[in-house]
A and B are shown apart, each in its own frame.
Chain A
C-alpha cells in the first residue's frame, strides 16, 4: 500500500488534553507512539476550557466517576511536578481548595443534600466537601456580594493553566521519543494485519493498537472500528479580565484568578450545536452573575472572550470503550479533561498499555446507555 506508512506500537488520534496525556503515559511504558492531530480549524475543547481540577459535585449519580475524579486530583500534585521537571514547563497547578458560591436557600438545600449523598463515595477517605456559612466564607474570601448566603468548599479542588498543561504534554511527548503529526486529520481507519491503518490526506500510519482521542471527531471515527461514541456538544463561554494583583485566594466554579493575574469568568451551558460563537446576551449574563458573587469585578475590564464546545455524554460521565469487534482499538471521551489528565497519563495509560480496563473504569462503557 502506501509507501510512507509509519509503524508504531500505538497510534493516538487526537492531540488534545486527552490524547496527549494518554500518549505521554504510554511512552513512559516503553511503547512507541504516534499522535495524529487535526489542524487549527478543529474543535478543540483543550484550548478553550476553564482550567479547573475539580472534585466536588462530580459523580453524584455514578460513584465510580466520583472516585476516578478524586483519584486524578490526588495524582495531580506529582503529575504537575513531574511534567515541570521533565519539560521545563509548569502547568501552574495549585490546590488551595475550591468554592462553589450559593445564592439561594434552595441551592443551599440541594448542595447540602448532595454532600450527604456523597459523603461516603470514597469510603474512609470521605467526599471532602463541606458547607460553609457566610461568616466562614468571609474569612476565606473577603469581598463577596451580599447575595452569597453560603458556599461549598472542597479541599481537593484546584486549578491549572490548561494551555501550559497541553504545551507541557506536547513537549514531553517529543522528549520521550513520541512522534507528533500536526495537520494529520485522519480520514479513514481500518484493520491492517494484526494492527490498524489510519489514513490522512498526506499518507497513512500503522499502529499495533489505536486510541481514538479525537474529541468530537470520535463520533465520526469510532464507527469505522466498531465503536459507537454517544457524545454531543455543549457550548461554554468564557470572559477574561485585565490582570490584577492577587484578589481571589482560590478558584470557584464561576471565577478563578490565573497565575498571570487575569480573572476568568465562565460557566454557561448552551445547546447550540458545534458553534463556538460568543454572543452578547450570554456574556453579559455570565458577567452579571459573577458580579453578584464578587462585586469588585465591576471595576475590571474584560479583555477577551470565547466560546468552546464541551464533549458530553448523555449523563455527563466519561465514555471509555474497548472495541469488541476490533481488539486493540479504544476510544476515550470525556468532559473534565483537565481534571482527569493525571488519571489519563497514569492509570488509564497503564491499562491501555496492558490491554485490560480495570473494573473501576468499566462503568464508563457506553453499554450503560443500552437499556436507557
Chain B
C-alpha cells in the first residue's frame, strides 16, 4: 500500500464518490487516491472486474474515472485541484446513437 513520506503537506481537497480526499498540490487524482488507500477506480467495461492504476504515466488507460461529470478521464494524468468531483466509473460509458 503506498504511503506518503511526508503526509502533512496535504492542503488540497477533492471528493471521490462523495468522500473527501486530501491531496498535495502537484498530486494527480491517481496519486492522491493511492495515498488514501483507494485502488478500485472503475469496473471493466467487459467483465465488470475492478480496475485501478497500472502504469501511472498515461499509457495503459486502466485508471479511468469520471471527473466533474466527464467519463473516461485518466486519473494519473489529471492534476488535482480544489473541489474536483471524482467518481468511480461503472462499466462502459453509454454513448447515444
Contacts and interface: CB of A to CB of B under 8 A. Distances in A.
A260 B92 CA distance: 9
Given A245-B92, A260-B46, A301-B72, A296 B61 contact: no
Contacts of A245: 45, 91-95
A260 B91 CA distance: 11
A296 B96 contact: yes
Interface size range on B against A:
10 to 19
A246 B95 CA distance: 9
Interface string A154-180: 000000000000000000000000000
A94 to B, nearest CB: 12
Interface in B48-91: 61, 64, 72, 91
B97 interface: yes
| Chain B interface SS verdict (over half) | loop
A303 interface: yes
Contact of A303 (B61, B93, B94): B61
Contacts of A247: 95, 97
Interface residues of A, number: 18
Contacts of B46: 259-261
Contact of B97 (A142, A242, A260): A142
A355 B91 CA distance: 51
Contacts of B95: 244-245, 247, 296, 299-300
A295 B94 CA distance: 14
Given A260-B46, A261-B46, A301-B72, A242 B96 contact: no
Contacts of B72: 242-243, 301
Contact of A242 (B91, B93, B94): B93
Contacts of A142: 97
B89 to A, nearest CB: 9
A51 to B, nearest CB: 15
Nearest to A303: B61
A178 B96 CA distance: 48
29 contacts: A142-B97, A242-B61, A242-B64, A242-B72, A242-B93, A243-B45, A243-B61, A243-B72, A243-B92, A244-B92, A244-B95, A245-B91, A245-B92, A245-B93, A245-B95, A246-B92, A247-B95, A247-B97, A259-B46, A260-B45, A260-B46, A261-B46, A261-B92, A294-B97, A295-B97, A296-B95, A296-B97, A299-B95, A299-B96
Interface of A: 142-143, 242-247, 259-261, 294-296, 299-301, 303
